[in-house]
Structure 1
Amino acid sequence: MATTGEVHLTTGGQRSLAVLVIDPASFQQVATALGHGRCADQLCRSNWLPIEPSRYQRLRRHLLQLFALSELSPPLRGDGLEHVHRQMALQADLQADLLPLLVETLAAACDAGPQLRRAPARIEVVKRAQDWMVRHPDRNTSLDGICQELRASRRTLIQGFQDHLGMGPMAFRKLQRLHMVRQALLAADPQRTTITAVAARFGLLSGGHFARDYRLLFGERPGFTLAAPAKTRPQSRRMLTTVQPREPA
């Protein structure tokens, strides 16, 4: 993977993401043994590879089999000789089967021409909009006003947010503000803080609409979040502040 630039990932709907980390030295050793010694160098200059569908399916099936076996096997935790043997057996399976398959798949993709793909142009506008919203949470600026601040057209901003986040800029702004309010309530002293003051700090001035939107998003009233003891307060998910562009067609 390229060490400079950015890598963006978009998944549709609910997905489980598995990350496979391979030691570069082990990868290079297997690649060299299979006659693909230059593959690792090419991978370091690319942030994506066009994998052939048939090779992708073989690799996917093998990974699914490994995941299924790991769920049936005892957890790889603990200590003692049995734990060491399980780790060694798994490592041997990866070294003997998965790693050569992965090398062959990536080597074929390298031969097809790895590229450092640039993100779509609209993503930069979306990032600037997100940054502006973070710096000015209390300003009730209209969509046209935000466009003027960013020197971007209304169409570009709306289409950019729809493409990369699946919602319009004003819907994202409301969502972002609600997350900011939640973070503030979780960190606040219930004896010295009012919900109205916190909401107003982030530009949410309509008490009725704010309470309804907060309850719909987090499943509880803002007063519960503020009043809950620190040990029993629910963990708040950090607001996503970067965007993942869909791959251009």
Structure 2
Amino acid sequence: MLNLNLFKYISVPLYLFIYLIIPDSAITQTLKVNFIRNLENALNNRDLEFIRKNFSDYENQNIQKQFSKIINDFPSSEWNIKRLKSNIPNKDILQIKVSGKKIVDEDIHILESNFDFLFSIVNGKIDEGIIKNLFTTIRNDDKKIDIIFKIPDKVLTGSKYDIDIILNKPLEEVIIAGAIKPHQVNSIFEQEILLEPLVAGGIFKMTRAPSKPGIQIWSGIIAHPKGMITFTKSIDVVDEI
């Protein structure tokens, strides 16, 4: 049985997600296979000199600050980078996966983040980066919780849409708790989320997209006797699909 008093307020460390979703970040220069491999190696080897040489001044300062945060929290983090086909003029796309783990009070916390990175080359350096289709989880349940996330990648401006986080197995006498909330892309502070019992076996929310195009961010948490899962999902808000 889950003791809800232990989880009444959870300060979700959103900065663990924010450094992966800040839309002004950037991560690449040319699309030669060797460069992509060198970039991947630089991130995995913590080679900040490579970043300094290949990023614009603004991006260099930003990426180093955010990179340091994730390495501090997940020292074993690894990056995997693949090129995707781009149909956007003057933009190229990389598919980036970040994985890592850390041990806290004998619990193993696993980080998994996937996102597409759109960017331009300005004066031969990385600039004008945008993150799309981000989905990040941090969980300590050894994937014992059978959970499905149904959150759209893209929605129309002003439209209603559903967010469903579903636990597949019958709950019976087990009590779980959870919550989800939107937050600002540029926020770097921890935000409190008030957990509530999830008698329906998950989080089921209908919401409305903003009236202007942009990126909407949702973060949430599931507390279960088998462990805890925090998650962040970015949604593109567009004029047409």
Pair in the same fold by TM > 0.5: no
More strand by share: 2
Give TM-score, length-normalised by structure 1. Answer: 0.22
More helix by share: 1
Larger radius of gyration: 1
